[in-house]
Amino acid sequence: MVIDAVEEKKEIINRYRRLLRKAKPILEPGDAKLIKKAFTISLEAHKDMRRKSGEPYIFHPLAVAEICVEEIGLGTTSVISALLHDVVEDTDIELSDIERMFGKKITRIIDGLTKISGVFEYGTSAQAENFRKMLFTLSEDVRVILIKLADRLHNMRTLGSMPRNKQLKVASETIYLYAPLAHRLGLNAIKSELEDLYLRFTEEGVYDEIMGKIDDTRASRNKFIKAFISPIKDELDKLKIEYDIKSRPKSAHSIWNKMRKQNIPFEEIYDLFAVRIILDAPLDQEKSCCWQVYSIVTDYYTPNPDRLRDWISTPKANGYESLHTTVMAKNGQWVEVQIRTRRMDEIAEKGYAAHWKYKDSNSTHESNLEKWLVHVRELLERQDLSALEFVDDFRGNLFNEEIFVFTPKGELKTLPNGATALDFAFEIHTDVGARCIGAKVNQKLVPINHVLKNGDQIEILTSAKQNPTEDWLRFVVSSKAKSKIKDVLKEDKKAVAEEGKEILLRKLKQIKVDPNSQMFEKMRAYFRVNSQFDLNFKVGKGLITVNDLKRFKDYKPASPIKSKPQINDARTIEQEISKAKGRYDDILLIGEDMDVVEYKLAKCCTPIPGDEVFGFVTVNEGIKIHRSNCPNATELLANHGNRVIKAKWTSQHEVAFLTGLKIIGTDRVGLINDVSKIISEELKVNMSSISFRVDSGIFHGEIMLYVNDTRHLDFLIRKLEKVEGVVTVNRFDSRNIDSANQEKVNA
């Protein structure tokens, strides 16, 4: 590639000036000088570096700083930190140099954004360790995570230039951690874009199809909206109040989610778009103005009583305020209408940063986020969690919708959707939770696992004799309750585990097994436990005996490579493949190269030739092949990206692979006969099982059959769709909960 240095320099200066223009409204005297200093240092530090796209590296920090200003609404400190966020990690500049030039605050933010270097203990997750480190800084300064989200957004926007396995890893981390985090901080616009970009890079065909259909329906949609809002506009004009009416379709990801969850095509999604009415109302009149507009909308269109959402009286925990209603248009189409003020709209789009702008006028909403940050601090103080357990606990409440309930004295409490009486007890106090024996919900006696609903009033009943049990973990959904129950249980288990640790070391010595970290990792996989603590506990309880340990010592897992190298990560595997093939082309070939690399097909997603797949290096079972859209893929890729290896089908033996088809339609005589004829007689496909049930004239069929590849399967689906009475035919995975859980243990 020929690089025009003069043009490139001109473009860098243009981008820097654009950043300054956008930051101008927030700059204090002297700020521009500091930003210039940070830009100069970053430019020099990254001068010889280029991104995968071939662009100069400085484009990235400049873009991140611009997102911080324009899309999140952050100030000078964040702009400087964004410009410098990669220099400590990628260059010779150290944190002490940053502190000398820019002070402690900026240094602390950059430290939070700098990945931990070095070798991690075998079996742990570098991604999880770095995420925990970043959150340590978040608990002191929320700007760390906001800059990290800006960094992630730009990386996702430019992901097209990365190799395929990196795309899957980064996209999975994004949907697993960063999109839920953006949601929790109220950054709705960024959350939606991250989700859409995830879909674009993991399910490109699906993404293109949905976007194409959104484009195809634009003209008719615009015509419909114009007619829909016309009478509302006339009434709003009489109110003498400034307003905007916007309409936008749902994001591709939310449409895809709905299609999957409800198993319906694009055409059957009735609330494809929302009409948003934004008012310029004084703070003290916001609520009454919104309800006035609601009254106007429902004068013209009939509302669905089950679809009214009042987040103005009780905002969501992430500060979101809006009035939502779904109304029936004149043509029989449902339309979602969102009514909010300019202030509410800015908070909905820009989230946490916008709260600071309005905090003097409306501090109660900031307090919801503050409460959440307090919870993050509590979680960080728990030293007994591994990084993976921490990330799992942290994710637990990121995406949950909330319910609002009351104490006997009328105090409002916010809990995750699905919360039980026991969750509420732990929300009041740990001791109340630990001694809870039941509750009175709206004066009616209920057990501890009773699921609460919006508006319930709860009184907790306690007993001094009550003690938490393992079962309680199944009765709670809030991470606060889960962690408190685990704490109480762990105190009881600690003594047993300590004793178990001593017994284990003694027995391993007797059978001459070296107790190193790698051996313990294999032991945890062999005995199917998630942590060393659980292993020690099982030994202490006598659930793992000396005979079990001897069997473990004699156990020889099938080696994934004939030369039996040490499996640590994907790189080790790739080097071995390279040696075996005599060349290096960065791809694990499957099919005719089976004599080079043995592998297993993951039971959780049953890949077949033609599927897009990746290889995952497991602890005990060599390489497992997963579909890219496997239910476990996101978690494996997000937490163990270093163990992912490229894989693709390069040749297809005439081998049959088991897969499943789900058929739904209207029942009629001879239908099952027609379906089985096409499969076994016309297409000569072998079936392993077939089951049909009929409910009120609708039949549901599940067929397990053997196909050669995805083309073979697609051809079969098209044939079956033409059978009279058949409405939908979809592939499904022959997975079960055990196989999905086992994949996680083996990871």
Confirm if 137 and 105 have CB atoms less than 8 A apart: no
Strands 613-617 and 623-627: antiparallel
User: 578 phi and psi, to 5 degrees?
Assistant: -60, -45
For residue 551, give the H/E element and its range. helix 546-554
Confirm if 436 and 427 have CB atoms less than 8 A apart: no
Q: Is 240 exposed, middle or buried (0-12, 13-18, 19+ CB in 10 A)?
A: exposed
Q: Which residue's entry shows tokens 């899309």?
A: 71
* 90 part of the active site: yes
292: helix, coil or strand?
helix
Task: List the structure tokens of 642.
Answer: 């270093």
SS3 per-residue string spanning 364-388: HHHHHHHHHHHHHHHHHHCCCCCHH
Side chain identity at 82, as an amino acid letter? A
| Integer Cα distance of 356 and 74 in angstroms | 10
Half-sphere exposure of 101 (CA within 13 A, CB side): 20
* 280 part of the active site: no
Confirm if 315 and 250 have CB atoms less than 8 A apart: no
Confirm if 106 and 80 have CB atoms less than 8 A apart: yes
From the candidates 89, 470, 502, 724, give the one annotated as an active-site residue.
89
| Integer Cα distance of 246 and 106 in angstroms | 38
| Integer Cα distance of 262 and 268 in angstroms | 10
Question: Which is nearest to 744 in space by CA: 629, 639, 628?
Answer: 639
- For residue 445, the cross-strand partners are 440
User: 506 phi and psi, to 5 degrees?
Assistant: -65, -45
From the candidates 44, 90, 121, 738, give the one annotated as an active-site residue.
90
| Integer Cα distance of 490 and 493 in angstroms | 5
CB atoms within 10 A of CB 692: 14
Confirm if 679 and 685 have CB atoms less than 8 A apart: yes
DSSP 480-515: HHHHHHHHHHHHHHHHHHHHHHHHHHHHHHHTT---
Instruction: Give CA torsion, residues 720, 724, 727, 733, to 10 deg.
Output: -30
569: helix, coil or strand?
coil
DSSP at 314: S
| Integer Cα distance of 650 and 602 in angstroms | 19
Question: Which is nearest to 297 in space by CA: 243, 263, 335?
Answer: 335
Instruction: Give CA torsion, residues 636, 638, 641, 646, to 10 deg.
Output: 70
Confirm if 323 and 340 have CB atoms less than 8 A apart: yes
Q: Dmax of the chain from CA atoms?
A: 89
Confirm if 154 and 60 have CB atoms less than 8 A apart: yes
- For residue 257, the cross-strand partners are none
Active site residues: 89-90
